[in-house]
Amino acid sequence: MFLFGPPDIEKMKARRDINGLKKALEYKNDERIQSEAARALDELGVHSEAGTAAPRNSAPPAPEINSALPGSTYFRMKVENIFFIRDRGTVVTGRVDQGTIKRGDQVILQGRGANRRLTVTQIEMFHKILDQASAGENIGLLFKDAVKEDLQVGDILTGAG
């Protein structure tokens, strides 16, 4: 009868290898690693008491997306997915990089060497229909005048001005 199973033997081998590396790198004990981890936690604002980490009282501030930056007044979005819905049109999804887009706006499809104008029929975000979308939002745009073969993942949609 075996006292150790194969997983236990693998753990013991791994622990032996790690200890060998520690000796080769002249680690005397784990205090250095623990002090580095404690310093990193302090920098993040997490305080450690009795070996457990307690998160800080407030959430970190959300990053600001400044749509007033120069050149950000124009809409820009990279196509991440493409879907065709029968009797509706073609839907492209992606994250708005800059600017805003409204229903009925025209966008320019830039890709495959040919630029083509498309009209936004509908804007959706998480199954909710929107009138407009702005920078930082993950959206889906419906185009009635586009064919799935016209679009490719990685194409760029920009505002028509």
Encode pLDDT of 36-86 as tens digits: 666 666 666 655 554 444 455 555 555 555 544 444 468 899 999 999 888
pTM score = 0.55
At 156 the three-state DSSP class reads strand
Is 66 in contact with 110 (CB distance < 8 Å)? no
Reported confidence tier of residue 131, pLDDT bands at 50, 70, 90: very high
Reported confidence tier of residue 91, pLDDT bands at 50, 70, 90: very high
pLDDT at residue 30, rounded to an integer: 58
Superfamily of domain 76-159: Translation factors (2.40.30.10)
Mean pLDDT to the nearest integer, 127-150: 88
The DSSP output letter for 103 is T
| Domain residue spans of the chain | 6-54, 76-159
Is 106 in contact with 120 (CB distance < 8 Å)? yes
* Tokens standing for residue 49: 């008491």
Backbone angles phi, psi at 21, to 5 degrees: -65, -40
Nearest in space to 159 (alpha carbons), one of 111, 115, 113, 108? 108
Tally the residues of the chain. 161
